[in-house]
Amino acid sequence: MANVTIIERSYDGMVADWLAQRLSAALAATDGRIAISVPGGSTPFPILERLVDSAIDWSRITVWPGDDRIVPEVHPASNTGKIRALLEPAGAQVERLEDAAEVPHFALVWLGMGADGHIASLFPNTDPQVGDPQMLRRLTPDPLPPEAPFDRITLTIPALLRSDALVFVIRGEDKRVVFDAAARGEHDLPIARLLGAATQEITCFA
């Protein structure tokens, strides 16, 4: 049973304020840089638009997309392109997963989740492993999600677990049912594998 703090009836401004506080605290705890991972999809970007205006020293933050579709950054489906457009002007360094050499330890990993229990691009058909020796994988979701029918590159479960904290923003009752069942260890979908192996603080904005 994963120890998850659920924050009910959340809204984008609330999540942005929480993230701003956590990132400020992580920056205050070190003289150097911190690394974070942020999700793609549709949920994060209204939150990131608020977060980018907060008083965070983005020049000390390296931002890793948790996953991306294998498309050019100028493609509308590119998570990295959208994240870069938002955060690089604020001073953040945004990584390209294809170029990644060494996946760091993350101060915070922020994830969304699909109704099928996927996280990042770890879809059920890819059989993601808690003990994966790789930090990054290229893979093909099957079925291809109609909203983003592309091959993917993604952080793996061990890479996502290389973090001080996990935070989820999960909107919709269908996803909430899947998430709660995962937290109780009632299925073996990717979200359940991640939560079952997590030892760090876990927060879910629902």
By CB under 6 A, name the binding residues for ligand 6PG.
39-43, 66-67, 79, 112-114, 118-121, 148
For ligand 6PG, give the closer residue by CB, 33 or 71. Answer: 71
Dihedral angle, C-alpha 92, 167, 41, 116, nearest 10 °: 160
Residue 161's φ and ψ, nearest 5 degrees, are: -80, -10
For ligand 6PG, give the closer residue by CB, 12 or 67. Answer: 67
Element (H, E) at 167: strand 165-169
For ligand 6PG, give the closer residue by CB, 41 or 104. Answer: 41
Residues near 2 by Cβ (< 8 Å), separated by ≥ 6? 182, 183, 185, 195, 196, 198, 202
Q: Hey, CA dihedral for 116, 159, 86, 27, is it positive or negative?
A: positive
The C-alpha atoms of residue 148 and residue 52 are separated, in whole angstroms, by 25
For ligand 6PG, give the closer residue by CB, 27 or 106. Answer: 106
In the complex, what is the shortest distance from the CB of residue 150 to ligand 6PG, in angstroms, rounded to a whole number? 9
For ligand 6PG, give the closer residue by CB, 20 or 115. Answer: 115
- Residue 195: closest CA among 175, 181, 205: 181
For ligand 6PG, give the closer residue by CB, 91 or 172. Answer: 172
In the complex, what is the shortest distance from the CB of residue 55 to ligand 6PG, in angstroms, rounded to a whole number? 26
Going from the C-alpha of 178 to that of each of 86, 92, 170, 173, 186, the distances in angstroms are 30, 33, 10, 9, 9
CB 40 within 8 A of CB 68: yes
Q: What is the CA radius of gyration of the chain?
A: 16
